[in-house]
Amino acid sequence: MITISFFSWISKFNPFKSIDGELQQIVVSLLAAEVYKRLAVDSCINLIADALTRCEFKTIQSGVNTKSDNYYLLNIAPNKNENATEFKKKLVSKLFRDNECLIVMANDQLFIADSYNKADYALKETLYSQVTVGEFTFKETFNESQVIFLKLNEMNIMHVINTFYKDYGSLISSARDIYKRSNAKRFVLKGEFLRAQNNEMQKQINDMLTSQFKPWLEADNAGAIFQLQNGFELEDFSGTGKAGVNKNDSRDIRNLVDDIFDFVATAFHVPRGLLKGDVVDVSSQTNNFLMFCINPLVELISAEFNKKMYGKSDYLAGSYIKVDTTKIKVTDLNDMATALDKLFAIAAVSINDIIEMIGGERIDEEWANKRFVTKNYTDTSQLDAMRGGE
C-alpha cells in the first residue's frame, strides 16, 4: 500500500504551489483550535474506558456463579485479535463518539463493527447490512436478534459539544492571539532619517534594522549588544505602555481551557475533579462517577447482552450476565476488615466470597462455601430453644 503525507495530498488540489507553506500553517492552526476539545473528550472517554476494563463480567448459570464460554469471551478474549481490555476500550470509544455501537458474533467470536447500514422497522426486526470489521465486510444481513446493538442517548451528545465548541474555540483562539500580541516586543526608533522615499530604499532600511535587532531580541541569546547612534532614541511600546509592563498572561487561556473540560465533563457525567486529577475528596468523586456514569453504562451493556445472549427463558431461570463494578474503587484491606466481618456474621458472604473480594483465588473445599451466622442474628422463633438454665 502506497502512503503519502497529508500535506502532499492537499497540494495536489492546490493550483498555487507557492502557498504550500501558508496552507500548512492554516491546517496547523485549525488543528490547534481543535486540540483542546479533543483533549477534553479523549480524557473523558479514556477515563470511562479504563473504569469499564476494571469491571468483571460474571456469568450466572441457574443462580450459581460459573466461568462459562461467555465468561472467557467477555473477560479474556472476545476474538483472536483482541483481548478483553482492547475490546472494552473500543466499545466505549465507539459508543460515546458515535452514540451507538454494533457488535456481531461470527465463529463464536465477538467483533465491534467499524461501519454498517441500518434499516429500522416498527413491526419487525431491524436489519444491519454492509457490516465492516477492519477491511472485511460481511456478505450476510444481520437481524436485530443476531447482533448486540448499544445506543447511548436519544440524541448524540457529541453534536452538542461540537456546536458549543465552534463559539468557545474561537474565544480560545482570540485569547491566544491577544497573549502573543501583548507579549511581543515592539520598539519605535526615533531619529533623523534622510533617505529617498521609495520602496526599494525603505526595504533596505527595514532589512538592516531587522538584522541588527534580531540577535538582541531572540530569547535564546544569553547576551547581545545593539549600537544606538547619537541622535537616535529607542522607545519600548511592548505590553501596556512604554515601560514594557504586560498584564496579560497565559492564565486567561488556561481558564478558557478549564471551561472546556468542565463543560465536556458535565456532558459525559464525569466528575471534574477526577478528570483534572484532583486528589481532594477522591472517594466522593468516585462514588458520583460510579453512580451517574459507570452504573448506567453497565446497566445498558448488561441488559443488551442478557437480551441477546440468554433470552427471556434463560434469564428467568437464573442464567444471566452480571457486571461487577466493585473493583473500580480501590479499597485498603484494613478498611474492608470490619465490613467483611459484619457481612460474614450475618451470612451475607462465605469464606470463598471474602477471599475473592480481596483478590485471592477461591478454595476448592466444601466448608469454604458455607455461610455462618452468629447467635445474635438468630430467628426469634428459635429463642426458646437457645435459652439457657437458671
What SS3 state is found at 87? Answer: helix
- Mean of pLDDT values over 105-110: 92
How far apart are the C-alpha atoms of 172 and 195, rounded to whole Å?
44
Residue-wise pLDDT for 294-346, tens only, equals 999 999 999 999 999 999 999 999 999 999 998 888 776 777 788 888 888 88
Residue-wise pLDDT for 211-225, tens only, equals 777 777 776 666 666
Q: Is 135 a domain residue?
A: no
pLDDT of residue 2 exceeding 50, the answer is no
Same domain, 225 and 353: no
Same domain, 72 and 168: yes
What SS3 state is found at 68? Answer: coil
Q: Is 121 a domain residue?
A: no
Output 186 or 46, whichever has higher pLDDT.
Answer: 46
Residue-wise pLDDT for 270-282, tens only, equals 999 898 888 788 8
Residue 4's pLDDT band (cuts 50, 70, 90): very low
Domain around 228: 187-236
Looking at mean pLDDT, say which of 44-48, 229-233, 375-379, 383-387 comes out highest.
44-48
Structural domain count, the chain: 3
pLDDT of residue 243 exceeding 80, the answer is no
How far apart are the C-alpha atoms of 373 and 375, rounded to whole Å?
7
At a CB cut-off of 8 Å and minimum separation 6, what does 53 contact? 84, 85, 88, 89
Whether 332 contacts 339, CB under 8 Å: no
Q: Is 313 a domain residue?
A: yes
Same domain, 177 and 224: no
What SS3 state is found at 119? Answer: strand
How far apart are the C-alpha atoms of 171 and 112, rounded to whole Å?
38
Answer positive or negative: Cα dihedral of 61, 66, 72, 75.
positive
Q: What is the pLDDT of residue 234?
A: 73
Answer positive or negative: Cα dihedral of 337, 343, 345, 349.
negative
Same domain, 87 and 198: no
Q: What is the pLDDT of residue 370?
A: 85
Q: Is 132 a domain residue?
A: no
What SS3 state is found at 233? Answer: strand
Residue 157's pLDDT band (cuts 50, 70, 90): confident
Q: What is the pLDDT of residue 203?
A: 81
Residue-wise pLDDT for 338-355, tens only, equals 888 888 888 888 888 888
- Mean of pLDDT values over 368-390: 68
- Mean of pLDDT values over 139-154: 94
Written as nine digits, the cell of 228 is 544606538
Does pTM top 0.85 for this prediction?
A: no
The angle subtended at Cα 281 by Cα 275 and Cα 284, nearest 5°, is: 85
The angle subtended at Cα 179 by Cα 178 and Cα 181, nearest 5°, is: 65
Residue-wise pLDDT for 247-264, tens only, equals 556 566 677 778 888 889
Tell me the residue length of the chain: 390
Q: Which residues pair with 111 in a beta bridge?
A: 104
How far apart are the C-alpha atoms of 317 and 53, rounded to whole Å?
28
- Mean of pLDDT values over 19-48: 70
Same domain, 26 and 160: yes
Same domain, 338 and 324: no
Q: Which of 266, 355, 192 is nearest to 40 (CA)?
A: 266
Written as nine digits, the cell of 137 is 465486510
Which of 330, 349, 364 is the endpoint of a domain? 330
Q: Is 206 a domain residue?
A: yes
Mean pLDDT score across all residues of the chain: 80
Same domain, 274 and 163: yes
How far apart are the C-alpha atoms of 111 and 105, rounded to whole Å?
6
Same domain, 177 and 38: yes
Q: Is 138 a domain residue?
A: no
Same domain, 253 and 297: yes
At a CB cut-off of 8 Å and minimum separation 6, what does 120 contact? 126
Q: What is the pLDDT of residue 137?
A: 95
How far apart are the C-alpha atoms of 314 and 312, rounded to whole Å?
6
pLDDT of residue 19 exceeding 50, the answer is no
Same domain, 369 and 305: no
